[in-house]
Amino acid sequence: MKNRYDERAPRLGAEPAPSPPLDPDPGLDLAGLDLTALDLDGKIRLLTGADNWRLPAEDRLKLRPLAMSDGPAGVRGVVMDERAPSSSLPCPSALGATWDPGLVAEVGRALGAEARAKNIDILLAPTVHLMRTPLGGRGFECFSEDPVLTAGIAAAYVRGVQSAGVACAVKHYLCNESETQRWTYDVRAAESVLRELYLVPFEACVREAGAAVVMSGYNSVNGATMTENTTLLRGVLKDEWGFAGAVLSDWHAARSTEATALAGLDLVMPGPGGPWGAQLAAAVRAGLVPEELIDDKVRRLLHVAGTIDGARKEAGADEAGRADPELLRRAAAAAFTLLRNEDGALPLGGDVRRLALIGPNAVHPVTQGGGSASVPPTGALSPAQALRAALASQAEVTTELVTEPGCITWAAVPEPDPATLVDPVTGQPGTRLEFRAGRGDLLAAEHRTATMFTWWDNLPEGVGWGGQGRIILRARFRAGQDGPHLVGAGGVGQLTLTVDGTVQAQGRTPVPADPVEAMVRPGEIRATVDLRAGQEAEVEVALLPENWAQGPISIRLGVVPAPDEDAMLAAAVRAAAGADAAVVVVGSGPATESEGFDRLGLGLTGRQDELVRAVAAVNDRTIVVVNSGMPVLMPWADDVAAVGCAWLPGQATGEALADVLLGRVEPGGRLPVTLPAAEADCPVLHAIPVDGTLHYDEGLLIGYRGFDRSGAEPRFPFGHGLGYTTWSLDSVRVEGPGQTRPAGPAAVLELTLTGRNLGERPGRDVQQVYVRPPDGDPSRPVRTLAAFAGLTAGPGETAQARVTVPARAFGRWDEAAGDWVYPPGEYLVEVGWSSRDLPASVLVTRT
Ligand code: BGC
């Protein structure tokens, strides 16, 4: 019998159908556009999503349904489905670490092209918050702790994406710097702090890069929720910056009718439903919202559509397709930030005949952060797999590789290797999903290859979001070793875990504080079963999803041999003791860095610190690679030969790491965030609202600005990073009419920086320019990053870069005047390689 759901296929996993290009052209006279073809309801209909990811179409305006997808580290599309995978790019903190807007623009263009291939019109990216606290769950989605670096990288990203003919929705305007109570907290910050820090990247994306969409966040700023924040939406964004595009609500962030419409929100997502529609029409008819405001919103929507199509015409039809894997690999290596490299520990050369690759993340790297930013990748090699392949291709030398995880970092039972699973019905490799009605009738079934699934919509009727139907995930698992195995069933709701027809566990998991946790770290029930190597066991997870109205629904299967951590550690130490070098890949565990919740501490989880120390005690050439999107504590940093940050490098993690370790590519990264020596040194650590309020009391002193003021010594300072060659900074020349200039908004400073590559291989240096203002006002930073430039040169060669220090670097926001002011005085312009290594300087006088 054909089941009802299959007849409606392809719904699960369906991508939006290709839509015809838009006409009229981008030269559209929006102000003069005749909207009279539409009545009030017809116009308002266009302003709320038609579904979770699409806006409505309107033939009379030649408007097709604009489709949206999350970014920023890949284009997921409108489904999370392993059958419609996406390129998984280095996370934004990794892109920040490149300090390379040119490369980031290339990455952006590739994302835009992939979005087009998936029929996506608006990419919900980039995330341009500052890393106010290193514990921020979504810190990996941000580029940096510094507004100037963030702005430079973010503007390049937007330009890149939009040049391919896809609009960027820059998010989340404003001050969504942490996750705890993100739906409701009220950020209290002085206007100078907003102006000099948090608005800067948004301003660059809008004014310099022409971002077509801005997404307003869930939180409030200074008492008004961001979808109702007239001061920041209409006042700053639209009136002051002249933003001509549309303001889009974060998902379910619009929670009122008139207030949002009046404040400057233009588009409500998702839909259908929500606070606009008939309620907004009634408000207009009652004279509470002027109809011109509705027309303005429609025009802004058409502006977005026009921008997309204008760029598409310029980019051409060919600008659609999968991102080039070579670019992913290059970007991940360019982001790798080498922090310490004693006695040439890296790169690994022919003298390494036996290499120990150790650590939980060597075997299971965390390639991306959790939440809406995650994508099902098109493929990925672990560091162990990639390094083995790279070593096997070495012509002259044979290096033996031994791999040991050393310890565990997971909290939920890990998903099994798909190669160990078969669909119990078809016998094909993979798993089986079934959807059953409340009474048990089969509504639909699918053969799949993943072990975790997420839906925002498109489940068979009666399953999820209030329905009584169940989702069932089945697989036949083949054990690889003798002994007890942990089996986990994950999901939010009523779970039943069955092994070989016997119910092993049953229970109800709690509803998480934030809906997105349901897809990142849903509750789990567990059982332990004894298996012999080669034995097959049929495992079934049945979930009756919790009865909630919105948010994703996930189901998950985990199976792993019960770990013996003492034995794992001992095996790792043995491997390290017998090797010429030991690479230890530690870092975040699965589901530790995510949207929806903040991290609890900066320490590496589990026994990772102990593992690093134990390996370093037996091997002098211990190289630690930290695989995390945000800072972790590195108490062993002085006791190992080398340390590097790989960030969350996306699906090219393994290959890029092999390239860097073997010296095929130079590690190109510089820290976009300060790495603290101790939690207590961080200017802002926890970001937990007090009575619903988050006071940004530290003012301007976040990141290195706070470290410089307190005098605390970072473990590694902002901007620091080593390549495989060394550089001298030969000269800093002030261009133009001398070092004394009138102060003011036009007073930029042009510098020419000259550096020399002192080493024996080509490399790229990142020279950073900081401005140190004259007075010692303790509430202001000692110095701030003002500009930066990459210098590329071959061995012994010099390279020059011209940089512009903008007038703003010599200005500050004056609360009383409500404007920028440019105080006269002597400013020290410092140049060098990190916020704590600035060997060159020039004194500039503003009169
Ligand atoms: C996130 C946004 C995301 C949206 C759609 C929200 O919960 O905050 O960043 O774009 O969901 O997935």
pLDDT digits (tens, 9 = 90+) for 554-572: 999 999 999 999 999 999 9
pLDDT at 6: 31
pLDDT at 31: 59
Distance from residue 251's CA to the centre of ligand 1 (Å): 6
The neighbour count for residue 18, using CB atoms within 10 Å, is 9
pLDDT at 184: 97
d(CA 559, CA 187): 42
First to last CA, the chain: 86
What does the pLDDT look like over 737-750, one tens digit per residue?
778 888 888 889 99
What does the pLDDT look like over 606-642, one tens digit per residue?
999 999 999 999 999 999 999 999 999 999 999 999 9
- Cβ 456 under 6 angstroms from ligand 1: no
d(CA 189, CA 166): 33
d(CA 105, CA 788): 16
- Cβ 517 under 6 angstroms from ligand 1: no
Catalytic (active site) residue 638: no
- Cβ 171 under 6 angstroms from ligand 1: yes
Mean pLDDT across 591-606:
97
> Which protein residue has the closest C-alpha to ligand 1 atom 4?
251
> Which protein residue has the closest C-alpha to ligand 1 atom 9?
372
pLDDT at 15: 44
- Cβ 69 under 6 angstroms from ligand 1: no
Q: Helix count (H) and strand count (E) of the chain? A: 19, 36
- Residue written as tokens 């790989």? 646
pLDDT at 36: 86
* DSSP calls for 411-434: SSPPPPPGGGEE-TTT--BSEEEE
pLDDT at 30: 60
Mean pLDDT across 695-711:
98
Whether the per-residue pLDDT at 197 is higher than 50: the answer is: yes
- Residue written as tokens 């038609």? 50
Q: For residue 503, give the nearest of 478, 527, 537 by alpha carbon.
A: 527
Using 50, 70 and 90 to split pLDDT, how confident is the model at 11? very low
Using 50, 70 and 90 to split pLDDT, how confident is the model at 23? very low
Using 50, 70 and 90 to split pLDDT, how confident is the model at 775? confident
Using 50, 70 and 90 to split pLDDT, how confident is the model at 549? low
- Residue written as tokens 């039809």? 317
- Cβ 124 under 6 angstroms from ligand 1: yes
- Single-letter amino acid code for the residue at 605: T
Cα–Cα distance list, 61 to 46, 51, 65, 261, 666 (Å): 11, 20, 11, 22, 52
Using 50, 70 and 90 to split pLDDT, how confident is the model at 397? confident
The best mutation among 78, 124, 138, 218 to test binding of ligand 1, ranked by most ligand atoms within 8 Å of the C-beta, falls on: 124
- Cβ 250 under 6 angstroms from ligand 1: yes
d(CA 136, CA 182): 11
What does the pLDDT look like over 79-120, one tens digit per residue?
999 999 999 999 999 999 999 999 999 999 999 999 999 999
pLDDT at 395: 73
pLDDT at 738: 73
Q: For residue 403, give the nearest of 533, 585, 562, 567 by alpha carbon.
A: 585
Mean pLDDT across 53-76:
96
d(CA 822, CA 246): 33
Collapsing DSSP to helix, strand or coil, 506 comes out as strand
Whether the per-residue pLDDT at 3 is higher than 70: the answer is: no
177 and 136 in contact (C-beta within 8 Å)?
Answer: yes
Buried b (16+ CB within 10 A) or exposed e, 529-540: bebeeeeebebb
Distance from residue 372's CA to the centre of ligand 1 (Å): 6
What does the pLDDT look like over 29-52, one tens digit per residue?
565 677 888 999 999 999 999 999
**Residues in Cβ contact with 252 at an 8 Å cutoff, skipping those fewer than 6 apart:** 270, 274, 550
d(CA 507, CA 490): 11
Distance from residue 279's CA to the centre of ligand 1 (Å): 24
> Which protein residue has the closest C-alpha to ligand 1 atom 5?
251
d(CA 310, CA 304): 10
Active-site pick, 250, 266, 609, 659? 250
798 forms beta bridges with 756
56 upstream amide cis, omega within 30 of 0: no
357 and 583 in contact (C-beta within 8 Å)?
Answer: yes
Distance from residue 25's CA to the centre of ligand 1 (Å): 30
Using 50, 70 and 90 to split pLDDT, how confident is the model at 170? very high
Collapsing DSSP to helix, strand or coil, 331 comes out as helix
d(CA 332, CA 329): 5
d(CA 296, CA 276): 15
- Cβ 70 under 6 angstroms from ligand 1: yes
Whether the per-residue pLDDT at 350 is higher than 90: the answer is: no
Whether the per-residue pLDDT at 19 is higher than 50: the answer is: no
Instruction: Name the burial class of residue 119, with classes exposed (0-12), middle (13-18) and buried (19+) by CB atoms within 10 angstroms of its CB.
Output: middle
> 586's torsion region: left (phi>0), alpha (psi -120 to 50) or beta?
beta
Indicate the helix (H) or strand (E) that contains 277.
helix 277-285
> Which protein residue has the closest C-alpha to ligand 1 atom 6?
251
Mean pLDDT across 126-138:
98
d(CA 53, CA 574): 52
Tokens of 403: 């791999």
Distance from residue 592's CA to the centre of ligand 1 (Å): 18
Whether the per-residue pLDDT at 21 is higher than 50: the answer is: no
Whether the per-residue pLDDT at 57 is higher than 60: the answer is: yes
pLDDT at 319: 84
pLDDT at 681: 98
pLDDT at 739: 82
pLDDT at 12: 35
Mean pLDDT of the chain: 94
13-22, 182-191, 371-380, 700-709: range with lowest mean pLDDT: 13-22
> Which protein residue has the closest C-alpha to ligand 1 atom 2?
250
Q: For residue 341, give the nearest of 716, 611, 675, 673 by alpha carbon.
A: 716
pLDDT at 28: 53
Whether the per-residue pLDDT at 702 is higher than 90: the answer is: yes
